[in-house]
Amino acid sequence: MSTNQSLKPLTLQTNAGGNLQIGGCDMVELANKYNTPLYILDEYTIRSICNDYKTAFKAYPKVNMMYASKALCTQAVSAILADEGFGFDVVSAGEIYTVYKGGVDMSKVVFNGNNKSFEELNLAMQYGVGRISVDNFFELSLLNEVAKSHNKIADILLRITPGIECHTHEYIQTGHLDSKFGFDLTRIDEAVELILEQYRNLKLHGLHAHIGSQIFETTIYSDEIDILIKELARLDEKFGLKLDEINIGGGLGVKYTENDMPPSTYDIADKIITSLNKNIQKYGIEAPALFIEPGRSIISTAGVTLYTLGSSKQVPHGKKYHAVDGGMADNARPSMYQAEYSAQIANKPDAENSCEVTIAGRFCESGDILIKNIKLPEIEEGDILCVYNTGAYNYSMASNYNRVQKPAMILVNNGQDDLIIKRETLDDIISHDIIPQRLK
């Protein structure tokens, strides 16, 4: 079984004290030490999925693993992934700066995004970002001017829209024709002509496509590769371009509930490598370097979030609600995507799940519901709820709604707990506020 097919961190167990333990650390003790809500990351699980990817793709000689930083971007996470030999897919100045400060080799970074600013492109050139995935005609012109001002050549990929629709939530489909991302296939030649004839400070290396997120299908990767390799061959025939890179994005799904059955890294690797070899032979081109950008599948399973249970409400002839001290501000996915999660009571994991309850958040929205209709033991005020598979897009999408501070994040490994993101303080909340002098 691949790590992405696990519902829980690989080091999870019940310890001698009867509490959940991850990375050799007692979850109840961590909740008491650092307070809740609290994000926890298991380093062993992160490194295990990295090893799965490297092993699964070793049959193809030219593979570049690029962690999709949008899933969770911190300096500590960047350091772990860099240590595992991964490059990074970044989408903002903030992510560029984070991986840079995390000690990442910037030549192994791809800068992606559909509306990069002058300041962001300038920062990318300043820090020596290895590839910029150009999304549109406006960016081609802008990046050429930025690169010219640095007296550099910008190494680029063209992001294309392959016209493939995968069966995920409509908000996280990115490869179908009606998408804000990338050049339509009918406009690729126009872009290439501009690069060859006008934009002398751009060097095109290959094509980039991304087909979506939380993908459970495997054949869709074969379809994507067929389109990309066919385009490489066609551009070579028409323009004499020997493009030698394809970036197929990421998107492999993970297991949020027992009903989820995602394919493994080995399943998709087999499909991708088989399709590459077949299409390389079919279209008669040299084997290109393959870039793949897993994000969620790298970090999600490694993460849990701890909450303290507080108030409750029994609706007459209806649901029983139990509220936690967090919610949509630290996990926007249930309200945004109708995402489902699994959880246990950390201080009584072996107790019988005798009650069906709905876990509500603390924020002032009726839609702030974390988990609907989950079976848990009888809940008491002060119990610690451990929600699984929260490593991806929870902290990344966190907000200060209701002026609530963002939680801390802890990295656990071999019985050691390390603070990698501090809990925000009330002073942090108001740190950017300014009262005009006329109001004082």
Kindly list the catalytic residues. 364
**Amino acid identity, residue 34?**
Y
Q: b or e along 281-297 (b: 16 or more beta carbons within 10 Å of the residue's beta carbon)? A: eebebeebebbbbbbbb
| Rounded Cα distance, 186 and 252, in Å | 28
For 413, the token pair is: 């490994």
275 burial level (CB within 10 Å; 0-12, 13-18, 19+): buried
> What's the longest Cα–Cα distance across the chain?
74
For 16, the token pair is: 């001698």
| Rounded Cα distance, 87 and 231, in Å | 25
Neighbours of 358 (CB within 10 A): 18
Contact assessment for residue 270 and residue 221, using Cβ atoms and an 8 Å cutoff: no
Among 48, 12, 69, 413, CA closest to 264: 48
Cα dihedral across residues 224, 227, 231, 232: positive or negative: positive
Contact assessment for residue 180 and residue 114, using Cβ atoms and an 8 Å cutoff: yes
Among 101, 153, 91, 85, CA closest to 125: 153
For 280, the token pair is: 């390389």
| Rounded Cα distance, 366 and 319, in Å | 14
Q: Tokens 């991806």 identify what position? A: 392
Contact assessment for residue 111 and residue 91, using Cβ atoms and an 8 Å cutoff: yes
For 146, the token pair is: 């930025």
Paired strand residues for 345:
385
